[in-house]
Amino acid sequence: MKLKKLLFLILIIFTITSFKTTPANAMETKPVTKSREFYQLKTYILKTKQQEQITDKYLKEAYLPGLKKLGIKNIGVFKPKPNATDTLKKIMVLIPFLSMEQFLGLDEKLAKDKTYLATGAEYLDATYKQPPYMRIESVLLKAFSDHPILTKPALNSARANRVYELRSYESATEAIYKNKVDMFNGGGEIKLFDKLGFNAVFYSEVISGAKMPNLMYMTTFADQASRDAHWKSFGEAPEWKEMSGMEKYKNNVSHIDITFMYPTDYSDY
């Protein structure tokens, strides 16, 4: 009888110990680190309205559907806000890639897609006398560690009124450029943008482009008034004043290019 009581007591102690430790052990999981995406920013430079129409049709009916068949989603297509000083037209396409392998294999896979080839024939088979564009510029980007994947903004305003602000920050040297990248990540600049509701699509390092060393990022707003108000709040934020006043972050940007854009009717944004 004493032996049964002893065994029963041991069983109770074992059960209580298991109950206390098992849930804690179950929660001990390693943090998941998201892989940083790559982006290609393609800019079609156009001279005539006809070129714009042909390229628009190609992108809408052939290129974007072809990319999506290959599993590439969240593709942005934008046009610059009207500018009286710019005589050329542009269409800018933002394409996200999970890996460099996916980027490098894209054209080869599209060349095997019969539907893509047939639908895009007017553009793809254009003659040298009537090209569908003047030039294509391409910038290859890698997402920042603190914003590793592209984010689709939640905007309800009319597409023509939306402001997609693309910024390029150049630095004097590679080392100074890395300092500016660190200011976005570890320094807290991305966190401040998030706090103030800038609706960032991406932040990225330029790994191949014409203006290196530089970084590029895109924020979005319902309209120009919203954009101006957000930047005013950013400039007045205590976090920005403290950050920008730090000696280690001074003079880490030598030139800034800003492009205001709106999404086309067939853009995923």
- Token pair, residue 130, equals 């009537």
How does pLDDT run across 2-15, given as a tens digit for each residue?
444 544 454 444 44
Q: Which residues pair with 77 in a beta bridge?
A: 93
Please list, in sequence order, all residues whose beta carbon lies within 8 angstroms of the beta carbon of residue 87, skipping any fewer than 6 positions away. Answer: none
pLDDT top residue among 13 and 212? 212
DSSP at 255: E
Radius of gyration over alpha carbons of the chain, in Å? 25
Q: Is residue 6 part of a domain?
A: no
DSSP at 77: E
Q: How far is CA 42 from CA 96, 124, 157, in A?
A: 11, 16, 25
Single-letter code of the amino acid located at 211 = K
Q: How confident is the model at residue 82 (pLDDT cuts 50, 70, 90)?
A: confident
pLDDT for res 14: 45
Q: Is residue 140 part of a domain?
A: yes
Lowest mean pLDDT among 20-29, 41-50, 51-60, 223-232: 20-29
Q: Is residue 24 part of a domain?
A: no
How does pLDDT run across 151-190, given as a tens digit for each residue?
999 899 999 999 999 999 999 999 999 999 999 999 999 9
pLDDT for res 160: 93
Whether the per-residue pLDDT at 23 is higher than 80: the answer is no
Q: Considering its fold, how many domains does the chain have in total?
A: 1
pLDDT for res 13: 46
How does pLDDT run across 243-255, given as a tens digit for each residue?
999 999 999 999 9
Q: Is residue 95 part of a domain?
A: yes
Residue given tokens 């482009």 in the structure block: 209
Hey, is 22 helix, strand or coil?
helix
Q: Is residue 20 part of a domain?
A: no
pLDDT for res 25: 40
Mean of pLDDT over the chain? 90
Q: Is residue 203 part of a domain?
A: yes
Q: Is residue 249 part of a domain?
A: yes
pLDDT for res 7: 46
Region 36-62: what's the mean pLDDT? 98
Q: What is the domain-level CATH number for residue 69? A: 3.30.70.100
As a whole number of angstroms, the distance between CA 31 and CA 120 comes to: 44
pLDDT for res 263: 97
Domain span at 43: 38-263
User: Do the Cβ atoms of 46 and 89 come closer than 8 Å?
Assistant: yes
Q: Could you write out the DSSP letters of every residue in 134-191?
A: SEEEEEEEEE-TTS-S-------S-GGG-EEEEEEEE-SSHHHHHHHHHHHTTTSHHH
Please list, in sequence order, all residues whose beta carbon lies within 8 angstroms of the beta carbon of residue 27, skipping any fewer than 6 positions away. Answer: none
pLDDT top residue among 87 and 41? 41
Q: Is residue 1 part of a domain?
A: no
